[in-house]
Amino acid sequence: MILTVTLNASIDKTYTIESFMVDRINRPSQCRTVPGGKGINVARVLKELGREALATGFLGGSIGNVIAQGLDREGIKHDFVRVEDESRLCIKIVDPKNGTQTEINEPGPTVTELELEALVSRIDDLVRGCDFLVLSGNCPPGVPADFYAHLIRLARKRDVRAVLDASGEHMAEGVKAAPYMVKPNVSELSELTGQELCTVEEILAAAKSLREYGIEVVAVTMGRSGAVVTDGGQAWQAVPPEIRFASSVGSGDSFVAAFLDSLLRGDSLSEALAWGTAAGAANATTYGAGFCSKSSIIDIRQGVTLTQIA
């Protein structure tokens, strides 16, 4: 089983508005409301792939109730810690005519020290016997910078491989705890290493440099250019075929889900990279995070180009 942690779960409302304009009345042609947050997205795709997953994290207030109800409707297993403050609402406006995507994301609930301790205790119980602990997404107010690092060390004590997909100080502190795998995008890796990364060679060199922390696998997603993965020695790049693009929201989470699913099937790192890339591209053909179908992932996998680059 895979345990996913979403510290800042949300209700995601995605509006499709052609020719979206500011300071105007805009009327959506489509509206979709679903539980959101990176760990929830990962669990959604794992469920679609037939892999057992459990989502945990924080939920609060009436929005937290709506998130839990939405997860129940989707059949996504969950065991969240309830907090006093209200969970967040995130609004995404997709303009297919102009190819733009506008996001308005609330900061989320302010979490207390007692609530943090309750989640640590819950994860310590839930993670036992899991194959992976996935820590992904930003953190709500009140969560210390080293919280992910603390959970990574907890997972190691339970002989569970931790996967980190975060940004900013939470990523910077998390890598110091030596998770099994990190999955930044190019922007997050640039921020982490303190240098602007433009070419595949620069991205790969930065990814390999993380080996000094004891991280075994670094996978970097690069949008339409696909992704690279390295174990510090060998490295591969996967490039997806041309797709009809809809939205990139959740593509990184879909990548993580399919990548880990492939590893659990016994595939090599390069094959896991190909499946992760296919899932990220499949997600980009849909509106809503993590709603790619297994059949679309399989179809796109046939067109993924995989190359060893080191």
Q: In terms of residue numbers, what domain contains 123? A: 38-79+110-308
105 within some domain: no
253 within some domain: yes
- From the candidates 85, 165, 253, 261, give the one annotated as an active-site residue: 253
Q: What is the pLDDT, as a whole number, of residue 249?
A: 84
200 within some domain: yes
Give pLDDT tens digits for 189-223: 999 999 999 999 999 999 999 999 999 999 999 99
6 within some domain: no
Give pLDDT tens digits for 148-197: 999 999 999 999 999 999 999 999 999 999 999 999 999 999 999 999 99
Residue 310 has pLDDT above 90, yes or no: no
Q: Which amino acid is at 27?
A: R
CA distance 227 to 243: 16
User: What CATH number is attached to the domain comprising 210?
Assistant: 3.40.1190.20
| Confidence (pTM) | 0.94
CA distance 275 to 195: 29
147 within some domain: yes
253 noted as active-site residue: yes
Residue 95's DSSP bridge partners are 100
27 within some domain: no
Give pLDDT tens digits for 68-126: 999 999 999 999 999 999 999 999 998 988 988 899 999 999 999 999 999 999 999 99
Q: What is the pLDDT, as a whole number, of residue 29?
A: 94
231 within some domain: yes
* Residue recorded with tokens 């620069």: 202
236 within some domain: yes
Count of structural domains, the chain: 1
